[in-house]
A and B are shown apart, each in its own frame.
Chain A
């Protein structure tokens, strides 16, 4: 123990290394957090360009801009890049920056592994994006890559895709191990589990989900690899395998995965709403238990993605009931946020605007989720734009809005400067309008019968598709404001106080802004 403290003591006095080696060799949680966040911003813009390509083709019926095969590559790459490149790394970046500062730790528990977890990602994504330029094109079987379309009938680049997924999985598992080790071991004295900020709690639970399911994803892609190259028949009925097995294994990963992308968002919103309502979070303990319940339920609802594969009646009923049950803990969370606002003293700075939009729009996504849980009705919704609308409502104004809210909320702490509030509000309102104009009409075309993942559609879907495309370009372009705001906040000196926000509570607000390169070399005492 003595030696550890001495090391920390000596390191306090020197800052970051100079030049590129600072970023290549860094073990500093703030540097690594920043790299994760910049990387995810880049992937968000890249995945966004692909989304705009899709929306441009769908602006009118008929094929205008691309061949169907390229369209399928765009839908696949858009999904993969947004899920694994934008949302997940952004949350890991936020965890890197904030978890140590929120629990009063000097750094992450495993700093060298932290460096490695990040530096795997650029290589994984270079390989994945490179498939676009390979003969036969990039993966074109959807981000859910159902066999045998992704095995027997896949383009040759699928092998690179499999390897990239393995690398991302390793990165995520190491990141998760690091976060768990940090939270369980490096809390400041007096910081008991039930005093942890909710962002830390939700990330702890998310990290366990990651460790549980990323190996399952690795398993399923390895089975694909064996089927493609080594003559096995896991998913090939002609060889005694079962194509539906793929879906069971994939969704056993895939459903917890969607909670991996939303639980940290719950945590962020639970930090921001109390700050701007100037009132303690309502029902802290029930928030923790609700998060844990959602994580548990995540493991027993996977087959609701597969209501149409022909499961026996008992299976359909089980997965329908279990899925409906998720509405209970999720409802508790929403009620708690609203109760936190009730009789508070609210102000509406940019982080709060995004957090409020999160509560409303995520809840709308939750409602369509509840509708999808009803198995007989799901037969009509399944694989239509109604599903596309549903998961974009929980992921864009859900996960992405929470990440953007977190960025505005903690940016002054990271940079030492306030961002431009007027521009922040412009960004919010343009995003808010854009997101709804894009995704709300998708409910309508889905209910009217438009299947998802089609490059061309029947004429009755034309009007709403045109509206959605206009909204998508509005939303996409307004994200350039986010880039502008972040860059301005770094460059323009508008010094922020240590506390930054009037109602802010928590250890991260006790250190100066910008947070020094090393914080909490001496652990703070938490009452």
Chain B
């Protein structure tokens, strides 16, 4: 009995000592201060309220511990009789209230700063999709999707995980350093939430509505974040990467993006063979479709339909193309019209009609898609 009474608390105390002591690099225990003026203000608020809590905790738990040690029956303590004291009760109502007012003042000031709606130098519309982000640079004719680039094999533990496991994307959102960038957030399907801790920006992306957030990242660098609102199956697999570049590098990037776009439309006019489209199609399928319909085309019964042997895949190509381009309303099937280029669309549809034992022999050409897209 004595051993149980004291041995276990001692063990717990020991555990408490071991964990904080080994708090090295990976054992991050606190919020990071971030890189923007706002994120530092938030960090200061966080630390202030934390120390306020520690101070109150020290007093309350101190008195409690003192009572537990000194006012125990086994030490012969006799119970006193008091059970109310108006003055004390008023004090411990008023003092916390005053502390809270003291906390509310800086919190209000920071919040007002965050809600500053003055004009920005760059506006980006950010749209959440199941399970990727779309960035449209308003007035710049730049529009691309950003999805997880961690290979499947790393997630299924067949390969060693890389340094930025689950926090890496194919196309990062690139913004200029030192300039005010406004994000206009919305969503295509369900609610997502765009969060980059280093910028202290977290705002929900809600279908049918536009939310506003802004940031000024003072230094070039790569900042990583994740979707913060449960948005379905792959909620854990839609990271955000913000690539902050100097103004010069950012302008260079704008030029490159526009050139790449021109090249892509050239590719659509080329004559593609079935083999070429199949090869390209498999790659696109695994990137854009396999999360739901599965790499083997069998889908997930009750949630996502199988494509293998599906009447749509082996029947009239027009219906198939229509669903891929325009999605199916009321279901998780998205419209891929803007998500994929004409070549990618043609390739993936061709692939679906000729893979996993679907043997239509149909070839859907990029030119065909381009006609439909107009």
CB contact under 8 A between A425 and B83, given known A310-B211, A341-B68, A374-B107: no
Could you tell me the distance in whole angstroms from the C-beta of A66 to the nearest C-beta in chain B?
A: 12
Contact of B195 (CB < 8 Å), options: A149, A340, A451: A451
Q: Does A309 contact B (CB under 8 A)?
A: yes
Contact of B46 (CB < 8 Å), options: A135, A136, A371: A371
Which segment, of B152-160, B276-284, B344-352, faces chain A? B152-160
Contacting pair B97 A328 (CB below 8 A)? yes
Q: Does A505 contact B (CB under 8 A)?
A: no
Which segment, of A187-195, A391-399, A453-461, faces chain B? A453-461
CB contact under 8 A between A429 and B4, given known A243-B207, A375-B111: yes
Could you tell me the distance in whole angstroms from the C-beta of A110 to the nearest C-beta in chain B?
A: 35
Contacting pair B303 A335 (CB below 8 A)? no
Contact of A463 (CB < 8 Å), options: B26, B71, B81: B26
Contacting pair B89 A283 (CB below 8 A)? yes
Contacting pair B202 A382 (CB below 8 A)? yes
Contacting pair B193 A363 (CB below 8 A)? no
Q: Does A16 contact B (CB under 8 A)?
A: no
Q: Does A153 contact B (CB under 8 A)?
A: yes
Could you tell me the distance in whole angstroms from the C-beta of A143 to the nearest C-beta in chain B?
A: 10
Which segment, of B132-140, B222-230, B247-255, faces chain A? B222-230
Distance in angstroms between the alpha carbons of A411 and B219 in the assembled complex: 63
Contacting pair A320 B104 (CB below 8 A)? yes
CB contact under 8 A between A308 and B226, given known A135-B302, A137-B303, A331-B96: no
Distance in angstroms between the alpha carbons of A131 and B1 in the assembled complex: 46
CB contact under 8 A between A360 and B191, given known A149-B232, A370-B49, A383-B229: no
CB contact under 8 A between A341 and B71, given known A328-B97, A451-B227: yes
Contacting pair A345 B77 (CB below 8 A)? yes
Q: Does B161 contact A (CB under 8 A)?
A: yes
Contact of B228 (CB < 8 Å), options: A327, A383, A425, A457: A383
- A458 CB contacts on chain B under 8 angstroms: 164-167
Q: Does A344 contact B (CB under 8 A)?
A: yes
Tell me if B's interface is mostly helix, strand, loop or mixed: mixed
- B8 CB contacts on chain A under 8 angstroms: 429-430, 433
Interface residues in A440-482 by Cβ distance below 8 A to B read 441, 443-444, 447-449, 451-460, 462-464, 467
Smallest Cβ-Cβ distance to B38: which chain A residue: A376
Q: Does A499 contact B (CB under 8 A)?
A: no
CB contact under 8 A between A346 and B68, given known A310-B204, A426-B4: yes
CB contact under 8 A between A278 and B100, given known A310-B203, A425-B4: no
Distance in angstroms between the alpha carbons of A56 and B232 in the assembled complex: 20
Contacting pair B60 A363 (CB below 8 A)? yes
Contacting pair B228 A451 (CB below 8 A)? yes
CB contact under 8 A between A320 and B195, given known A344-B67, A460-B28: no
Smallest Cβ-Cβ distance to B12: which chain A residue: A433
Contacting pair B80 A309 (CB below 8 A)? no
Q: How large is the interface on A (under 10, 10 to 19, 20 to 34, 35 or more residues)?
A: 35 or more
Contacting pair B68 A374 (CB below 8 A)? no
Contact of B208 (CB < 8 Å), options: A237, A452, A454: A237
- B227 CB contacts on chain A under 8 angstroms: 451
- B193 CB contacts on chain A under 8 angstroms: 308, 382-383
Binary CB contact string for chain A from 131 to 170 against chain B (1 if under 8 A, 0 otherwise): 0001111001110001011001101100000000000000
CB contact under 8 A between A377 and B232, given known A426-B4, A451-B227: no
- A452 CB contacts on chain B under 8 angstroms: 230
Contacting pair B84 A347 (CB below 8 A)? no
- B130 CB contacts on chain A under 8 angstroms: 153
Contacting pair B12 A345 (CB below 8 A)? no
- A279 CB contacts on chain B under 8 angstroms: 79-81, 83
Q: Does B313 contact A (CB under 8 A)?
A: no
CB contact under 8 A between A341 and B73, given known A149-B190, A374-B103: no
Q: Does B357 contact A (CB under 8 A)?
A: no
Could you tell me the distance in whole angstroms from the C-beta of B208 to the nearest C-beta in chain A?
A: 2
Contacting pair B84 A62 (CB below 8 A)? no
Contacting pair B202 A380 (CB below 8 A)? yes
Contacting pair B67 A285 (CB below 8 A)? no
Contact of B61 (CB < 8 Å), options: A324, A360, A432: A360
Contacting pair A379 B201 (CB below 8 A)? yes
Contacting pair B83 A447 (CB below 8 A)? no
Q: Does B290 contact A (CB under 8 A)?
A: no
Distance in angstroms between the alpha carbons of A355 and B157 in the assembled complex: 44
Contacting pair A237 B4 (CB below 8 A)? no
Q: Does B236 contact A (CB under 8 A)?
A: yes
- B30 CB contacts on chain A under 8 angstroms: 444, 447-448
Distance in angstroms between the alpha carbons of A356 and B67 in the assembled complex: 12
Interface residues in A224-254 by Cβ distance below 8 A to B read 237-238, 242-244
Interface residues in B261-292 by Cβ distance below 8 A to A read none
Distance in angstroms between the alpha carbons of A372 and B189 in the assembled complex: 28
- A376 CB contacts on chain B under 8 angstroms: 41-42, 45, 107, 110-111, 114, 200
Q: Does B314 contact A (CB under 8 A)?
A: no
Contacting pair B190 A308 (CB below 8 A)? no
- B233 CB contacts on chain A under 8 angstroms: 67-69, 72, 140
Contact of A310 (CB < 8 Å), options: B63, B111, B189, B212: B212
Q: Does B129 contact A (CB under 8 A)?
A: no
- A443 CB contacts on chain B under 8 angstroms: 29
Contacting pair A63 B155 (CB below 8 A)? yes
Q: Does B31 contact A (CB under 8 A)?
A: yes
Q: Does B311 contact A (CB under 8 A)?
A: no
Distance in angstroms between the alpha carbons of A324 and B8 in the assembled complex: 36
Contacting pair A345 B73 (CB below 8 A)? yes
Q: Does A359 contact B (CB under 8 A)?
A: yes
Distance in angstroms between the alpha carbons of A247 and B167 in the assembled complex: 29
Could you tell me the distance in whole angstroms from the C-beta of A130 to the nearest C-beta in chain B?
A: 14
Contacting pair A345 B60 (CB below 8 A)? no
- B80 CB contacts on chain A under 8 angstroms: 279, 343-344
CB contact under 8 A between A436 and B45, given known A62-B156, A343-B80, A429-B4: no
Smallest Cβ-Cβ distance to B96: which chain A residue: A331
- B100 CB contacts on chain A under 8 angstroms: 324-325, 327-328
Contacting pair B236 A244 (CB below 8 A)? no
Contacting pair B112 A313 (CB below 8 A)? yes
Contacting pair A382 B228 (CB below 8 A)? yes
Distance in angstroms between the alpha carbons of A453 and B79 in the assembled complex: 48
Contacting pair A370 B97 (CB below 8 A)? no
Contact of A433 (CB < 8 Å), options: B11, B28, B46: B11
Distance in angstroms between the alpha carbons of A374 and B227 in the assembled complex: 22
Could you tell me the distance in whole angstroms from the C-beta of B154 to the nearest C-beta in chain A?
A: 7
Binary CB contact string for chain A from 343 to 385 against chain B (1 if under 8 A, 0 otherwise): 1111110000000100110011001001100111101101110
- B167 CB contacts on chain A under 8 angstroms: 458
Q: Does A483 contact B (CB under 8 A)?
A: no
Distance in angstroms between the alpha carbons of A342 and B89 in the assembled complex: 15
**Can you list 19 A-B pairs, Cβ within 8 angstroms, ordered by A?**
A62-B156, A72-B230, A135-B302, A148-B191, A243-B208, A309-B204, A324-B100, A324-B104, A328-B93, A328-B97, A342-B67, A344-B71, A364-B57, A422-B4, A429-B8, A444-B30, A451-B226, A453-B235, A457-B236
Given contacts A277-B79, A449-B226, A467-B19, 8 further A-B contacts (CB under 8 A): A134-B302, A309-B206, A316-B115, A320-B111, A345-B77, A356-B64, A425-B5, A449-B32
